[in-house]
Amino acid sequence: MAQSVRLTSLAHGGGCGCKLAPAVLRDIMAQMPAAAAFPDLMVGTESSDDAAVWRLNDSQALVATTDFFMPVVDDPYDFGRIAATNALSDVYAMGASPILALAIVGMPVAKLDADAIGRILAGGAAVCAAAGVPVAGGHSIDSVEPIYGLVALGLVHPDRVLTNRGGRPGDVLILTKPLGVGVLSAALKQGKLEPGGYEALIASTTQLNVLGRELPEMAGVHAVTDVTGFGLIGHALEMAQGARLVAEIRAEAAPLLSGVERLAQAGVVTGASGRNWASYGEHVFQPDDLAGWRRDLLTDPQTSGGLLVAAAPDAAEAVLSAARDLGFRHAAVVGRLAEPGPGQAPGVSLT
């Protein structure tokens, strides 16, 4: 059977917009048992970080993560590339270098032929090859909706692990990729995405966050996370709460993918954007004159988004320069971390 069905038509959601809403996930994770009995577990579930970290010895720590989702685009090869890039991002966000991947595959075999499924896997394998790692195995099931992703493993020195909770007052916040992936994917589903918009979507979502493995060697870098399904505000909130600080985000400073502002102003938005705001809006201060479409972009789910880096002010230019040298030409300072004011709880403040 030739592939005649659109991949996105087989799924109720797509990309990182499929993630459970932050509030739902928080309630579920609250039931997880503590991992204090494992002294070599350096990073677990307690901090909403990007990956788990296990100390192997004095010079090596294993970074382990898994990420998978339903199609955000219709081309099988592009879907595989995006999903693999997104999964490896969690390893880079911890300051590690990936070493190995395993494939997670769930496909509606009655609706997709073997060629289309093979192209999904080939796309993922191509990204892993570009990252210098093999796809060494995996697991597959027959599922109602198409699902693809990776288990990704990496290595980092135990003293150089970067988490999302190490930010310090006065740190600047640097975002390495422009926002708007959710808006562009919504426009694609609605038949409103122009060819240039699709090219921008693919270029952004398949760009490996290799900057992450360089950051542990840079003085003044204190915290890192990748911006994915919870949007810029959601991941900045995790960073702020982890450090017991306030993330002051300049709404207009966040770079946007080409065409996104026009689409957002026209009302193209994902359902996940609203769910994100409903989950964490109580922890966010927003000015009365902030346009609704602008807030939607700050909560827009980013499939395979960029890194959010907290760095000392005197380290910011070095981080930006390194990012741009690696092809992240839209990297920009989007805010800073500050001490909470009197009576103010850790959270996000939009300006």
Residues classed as catalytic:
16
Taking CA atoms, 163 is separated from 48, 308, 309, 317, in Å, by 10, 11, 10, 21
Contact 307, 92 (CB under 8 A): yes
Quick one: how many helices (H) and strands (E) in the chain?
Answer: 11, 13
Find the helix or strand (DSSP H, E) in which 275 lies.
helix 271-280
d(CA 229, CA 303): 6
What is the DSSP secondary structure assignment for residue 229, as one 8-state letter?
A: T
d(CA 19, CA 6): 21
Contact 229, 17 (CB under 8 A): yes
Please provide the size of the chain in residues: 351
Q: Within 10 Å of residue 58's Cβ, how many Cβ atoms?
A: 9
d(CA 139, CA 103): 6
d(CA 218, CA 317): 11
Contact 145, 69 (CB under 8 A): no
